[in-house]
C-alpha cells in the first residue's frame, strides 16, 4: 500500500462509503480525524518536522528583499 494511487483510491472509497452510510458532514469529520491521526503518526515517527513546518508557515512574504529601484532617467536637453 505504498503506492500513492492505491492510498488515494482507498481513501476515496472510504469517504464515499462513509458519505453513503452516515451523512456528508460525518464523512468530512472522518477525513478530518484521519488527517489528525496522520499528522500525529508522522510527528511520532519523525517524518514530519513541526519546527520546519512552522517556519514555512510563519514566513512573511513582505520580508523578501525589494527589487532595486530603477536608475534615474536623464532629462532631455532643451535646444
Q: Which tens digits make up the pLDDT trace of 25-79?
A: 888 888 888 888 888 888 888 888 888 888 888 766 665 556 667 777 777 777 6
- Above 80 in pLDDT, residue 3? no
pLDDT for 62: 61
pLDDT for 7: 80
With H, G, I as helix, E, B as strand and everything else as coil, classify residue 60.
Answer: coil
What are the cell numbers at 25? Answer: 458532514
pTM listed for this prediction: 0.51
Q: Which residues contact 66 (CB under 8 A, 6 or more apart)?
A: none
What are the cell numbers at 48? Answer: 514530519
Rounded distance between C-alpha atoms, residue 52 and residue 43, angstroms: 12
Amino acid at each position: 500500500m505504498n503506492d500513492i494511487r492505491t492510498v488515494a483510491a482507498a481513501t476515496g472509497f472510504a469517504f464515499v462509503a462513509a458519505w453513503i452510510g452516515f451523512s456528508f458532514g460525518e464523512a468530512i469529520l472522518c477525513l478530518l480525524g484521519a488527517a489528525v491521526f496522520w499528522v500525529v503518526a508522522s510527528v511520532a515517527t519523525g517524518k514530519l518536522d513541526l519546527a520546519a513546518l512552522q517556519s514555512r508557515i510563519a514566513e512573511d512574504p513582505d520580508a523578501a528583499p525589494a527589487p532595486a529601484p530603477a536608475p534615474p532617467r536623464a532629462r532631455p536637453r532643451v535646444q
